[in-house]
Amino acid sequence: MKQIILVGIGGGVGSIFRYLIKIWTARFSEEIPLATFSANIIGCLLIGLLMGYFTKNEHIPNDWSLLLITGFCGGFTTFSTFSSENLNLLQAGNYLTALTYIVGSVVIGILAVFLGYVLTK
């Protein structure tokens, strides 16, 4: 039960931060899904940092991983929203924007996880 509560708390806080990013990025662009892109890239970097940190510091209880990786990052990142936004872009005929968004998110996301992991090793 403790683990479920930790994941729930982390997920709730992550979702709040995701919403704050949406509010913050709305002033820059409403055409490009900047909030989702930002949340996914920041979340990928954060997951990489946490993975590297927890790997390096094996004495840290697994509860922290549940709270921060499973909970916070799970609530913060928005891959399902990313997918639905791409479907909307494709259905609207915005193929180049969709392709750029997909490739950019995946490639930069993987690089951000790698960077975060390497920075903590």
How do residues 1-58 score in pLDDT, each as one tens digit?
999 999 999 999 999 999 999 999 988 877 788 998 999 999 999 999 999 999 999 9
pLDDT of res. 85: 93
Judged on CB neighbours under 10 Å (0-12, 13-18, 19+), 108 is middle
Q: What is the pLDDT of residue 27?
A: 87
Determine if residue 55 is labeled as part of a ligand binding site: no
Mean pLDDT of 83-96: 94
Question: What per-residue confidence (pLDDT) applies to 33?
Answer: 86
User: Could you tell me the pLDDT band of residue 110, with boundaries at 50, 70 and 90?
Assistant: very high
77 is in an annotated binding site: yes
Share of the chain above pLDDT 90, in %: 87
Mean pLDDT of 106-113: 96
Average pLDDT of the chain is 94
- Asked if 102 contacts 86 with a C-beta cutoff of 8 angstroms, the reply is yes
CA 99-104-108 angle, to 5 degrees, is 160
